[in-house]
């Protein structure tokens, strides 16, 4: 899916915050916080057309699993090809706010990583806080929440839930992004 499709989804769906796919540079910068050498469970909120998802699926350990939670009909349709190509990938047509029930329905006790580019700035404060708490609760003790956002608005909310938060500004992306690594312990 190219920029034109992203723009169409941006116009039609208020939950889509990007008009272009993430750059390969941003993907590599954020994914460097994932240990691809060990089996793990990764849950991605709002994968869009799957730029991060494809990179993760190609690089993850054969015994890992990747759960993609996407609400946009067009993006879900695109992600189905990834699910067909990699047996470790599961696409769930739902909202990130339902992560607890999604994980329960998939029989997942917890995840090693959550990854998100959903526009947290579009969420009401209560929904954002609940989702951050559900993410924290859904991680193993040594788990991480990896977030990338257009604006530097996530540092304080992340610090309310996570013990360690690191942030970087990634210029090589349109638009530039703030990337956060929030560690449970």
The domain limits of the chain are 3-183
pLDDT tens by residue, 73-85: 999 999 999 999 9
pTM greater than the 0.85 cutoff: yes
- pLDDT band at residue 18 using 50, 70 and 90 as cut-offs: low
Distance CA 143, CA 40 (A): 10
Percent of the chain with pLDDT over 70: 90
The second-level CATH assignment, the architecture, of 3-183 is 3-Layer(aba) Sandwich (3.40)
Exposure string for 9-40, b = 16+ CB within 10 A, e = fewer: bbeeeebbbbeebbbeebbebbbebbeeeeeb
Distance CA 133, CA 4 (A): 35
pLDDT tens by residue, 85-138: 999 999 999 999 999 999 999 999 999 999 999 999 999 999 999 999 999 999
For residues 99 and 134, the answer to whether their CB atoms sit within 8 Å is yes
Dihedral of the CA atoms 159, 165, 170, 174 (nearest 10)? Answer: -40
């Amino acid at each position: 899916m190219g920029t034109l499709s992203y723009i169409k989804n941006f116009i039609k769906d208020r939950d889509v915050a990007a008009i272009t796919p993430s750059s390969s540079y941003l993907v590599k910068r954020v994914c460097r916080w994932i240990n691809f050498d060990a089996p793990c469970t990764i849950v991605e909120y709002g994968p869009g057309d799957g730029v991060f998802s494809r990179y993760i699926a190609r690089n993850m350990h054969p015994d890992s699993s990747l759960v993609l939670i996407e609400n946009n009909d067009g993006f879900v349709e695109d992600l189905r090809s990834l699910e067909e190509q990699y047996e470790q990938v599961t696409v769930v047509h739902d909202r990130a706010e339902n992560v607890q029930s999604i994980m329960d329905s998939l029989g997942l006790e917890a995840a090693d990583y959550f990854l998100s580019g959903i526009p947290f700035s579009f969420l009401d404060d209560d929904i954002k806080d609940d989702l951050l708490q559900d993410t924290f609760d859904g991680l193993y003790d040594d788990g991480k929440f990896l977030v990338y956002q257009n604006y530097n608005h996530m540092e304080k909310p992340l610090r309310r839930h996570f013990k360690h938060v690191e942030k970087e500004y990634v210029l090589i992306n349109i638009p530039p992004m703030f990337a956060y690594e929030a560690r449970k312990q």
